[in-house]
Amino acid sequence: MNLAHLLTRASHIWPDNCAISRGAQLHATYRQFAERAARIGASLRRDYALNTGDRVALVMKNQPEYLEALYGIWHAGLVAVPVNAKLHEREFAYIFSDSGARLCFVSPELAGKVGDSITTVVTPGEEWQRMQHAEAAPVVEVDRDDIAWLFYTSGTTGKPKGAMLSHHNLRQMLLAFFVDVEQLDAADSMLHPAPLSHGSGLYNFAALYSGANQVIPASGGFDPAEIFALIAHYPGAFFFAAPTMVKRLVEATDARSADTSNLKNIIYGGGPMYVADLKAAMAFFGNKLGQIYGQGECPMTITTLTRAMHRDASDARLASVGVAQSVVQVKVVDERGVEQPAGSVGEICVRGEVVMRGYWQRPEANASAFRDGWLYTGDMGVFDADGFLTLKDRVKDLIISGGSNIYPREVEEVLLLHAAVLEVSVVGFPHPEWGEEVVAFVACHVGLNATEAELDQLCLDSIARFKRPKRYVFVDSLPKNNNGKILKTALRDMLSLEDVSSSST
C-alpha cells in the first residue's frame, strides 16, 4: 500500500516518458525519477539511521527535486512533512519541533532560515548529489493506515496542526480525482504554479498514475507570463490554482495575447471564488474550469463542481462548490449536531476513508473535530434540493450583529460588483450595541476609486439593510497566506490596533 509503489508502476509502464520538467526542460524520465527516489530512500535509512515512521520535513520552493525527495521519503517508509516555504523562521522551528522531524530537505535559498535545530540536506547540493549515488534498496512496506503526509493546516488562526494523512487516505483521494475531477493521460502535463506543499503537491499522484509530465515553473513560483508560456508549450496542460491565481491570470497584461488552446482544465479551490470573477475566467478560458472544495483534514475531496457542471450554469450554481465527491458522505448539521434539510445553513461534516486519521498529538483538537465518526469541517454551508452545496463562511467568520447572522461572503459578492473594486473582505468587529458590526476592507484597481456612498448604494440595491458594512477601510491589497487565502485574522488585528490608537489619542 506504500504510495512509493505508484512511482515504481509508472516507471515500468512509461520508463522513457518525461516525468518531471523544469520550465520547458526535461528534468527526469520516469525511469530516472524512480531510480533517484530509490537511492535517496536507501540513503535516508542507511546514512541517517531513519526508521519507518520517522518524519522528514521539506522546506522547499517549487522545484523538480521536491518530487524526488517526497518519493525518496516514501520509498524508505518515512513520513513527509511538507512545510509552507513562505513561513517565518519561528514557524519552521515550531513545525520541526511539533512533528519531531529528524531531517529537513531545504532549498539553497532557504537554508539560512531553517536554523540549526534540525539536520538539513540542501537540495540540490553536494549531499543531495551524493545521496543520488547511494545503492538502491527495495520499497519499505508500510501498513495502509501508516502516515504518509503530515499536512500542517494553514494556521489562519492559532498554531498550525498536523493532519495525519495515511497512504490509504491519499489513495482514496487519487481515486476520487479520476472519478470526480478529471481524466489525465500520458500525453498530458500537470503544471505546478501553486505550492507543492499543499493542493498542487497532493495532485501529483494523479499525474504519476497517468504517466503525465509534471512541470515545475522555472521561477519556482506563480508568474502569469510564465504560466501562459507553459500553457502554450505543453499540450494537455492541467493545473490546480487558488481562485486568486485564476483572477490574476485573467487580469494579467499578457492575457490578451496568450494562446490557451493547449489548456485542458484548471481546477480551482482552497478559497472562495466569487461569481463575478468566475464568469470573467469562463469568458476568457472557455469551459475549462472545475472546482473542488476540500481541506487539509480531508484532502481535496469534499465536493466538486465539475467542468461539465460549469457549462450553462445559473449564478446560484456557479456560487456553489458542487456535489459530494464519490468517496465521501457530506451533511450539514445545526449546533446540536442534528442533520439539516436542504435550504438550512449549518456546519458541514464529512466522513469517508479519505478523511485524515486525526491531528498529530492533539487529543483535544481531535475530540472536537470528530463526533460519531464525522469530521466537523468548521465551514458553514447549505445544500439545495439537488445536492449542490454552497459554502457560507468559516464558523468563526460568521458575523452576528443585532442577533442576526450575516455571512461575509454574501456581502463580499455584492461589493465586488463595483467596477473599481479589485478585492474585498468583510469581517465582524466587536461593537458595544450590536455585538458585532460589519466592516469591509476594500482594495481598488490601480487608478480607480469606489466611494463609500457608491458601495452602500450597491448593498441597498441587493441585500438586507442590516447586512451593509457600517465601516469601510480602503487598502492597497489584502493580506494573504502562501495559498492565496485572505487572512481575516490579520484584518481583525488591524481593526483592534486602530481602535487602541484612536482611544489613546
Cα angle at 427 between 421 and 430, to 5 degrees? Answer: 140
- Hey, what long-range contacts does 122-127 have (CB within 8 A, 24 or more apart)? 123/60, 123/63, 123/65, 123/69, 124/65
Nearer to ligand AMP, 239 or 293 (CB): 293
Nearer to ligand AMP, 15 or 479 (CB): 479
User: Least distance (Å) from ligand AMP to the CB of residue 74?
Assistant: 21
H or E element in which residue 75 lies: helix 64-75
Nearer to ligand AMP, 210 or 304 (CB): 304
Nearer to ligand AMP, 123 or 377 (CB): 377
- Residue carrying C-alpha cell 493521460: 185
User: Least distance (Å) from ligand AMP to the CB of residue 291?
Assistant: 5
Nearer to ligand AMP, 236 or 296 (CB): 296
| Residues 243, 270 contacting (CB under 8 angstroms) | yes
User: Least distance (Å) from ligand AMP to the CB of residue 320?
Assistant: 9
Nearer to ligand AMP, 62 or 295 (CB): 295
| Residues 455, 463 contacting (CB under 8 angstroms) | no
Nearer to ligand AMP, 155 or 435 (CB): 155
User: Least distance (Å) from ligand AMP to the CB of residue 78?
Assistant: 23
Work out the angle between the directed axes of helices 4-13 and 30-46 (0-180°, nearest 10).
150
User: Least distance (Å) from ligand AMP to the CB of residue 332?
Assistant: 14
Q: How many angstroms separate the CA atoms of 407 and 418, rounded?
A: 19
Helix (H, G, I), strand (E, B) or coil at 175: helix
| Residues 401, 437 contacting (CB under 8 angstroms) | yes
User: Least distance (Å) from ligand AMP to the CB of residue 133?
Assistant: 37
Nearer to ligand AMP, 294 or 408 (CB): 294
Contacts with ligand AMP by CB under 6 A lie at: 153-154, 269-272, 291, 293-296, 321, 377, 379, 391, 394, 483
Rg (CA), the chain: 23
User: Least distance (Å) from ligand AMP to the CB of residue 348?
Assistant: 8
- Tell me 322's DSSP state: B
User: Least distance (Å) from ligand AMP to the CB of residue 156?
Assistant: 8
| Residues 120, 96 contacting (CB under 8 angstroms) | no
User: Least distance (Å) from ligand AMP to the CB of residue 299?
Assistant: 8
Tell me the residue ranges of DSSP E strands in 79-173. 79-82, 103-106, 119-122, 147-152, 162-166
- Tell me 394's DSSP state: E
Nearer to ligand AMP, 450 or 491 (CB): 491
Cα angle at 176 between 173 and 180, to 5 degrees? Answer: 145
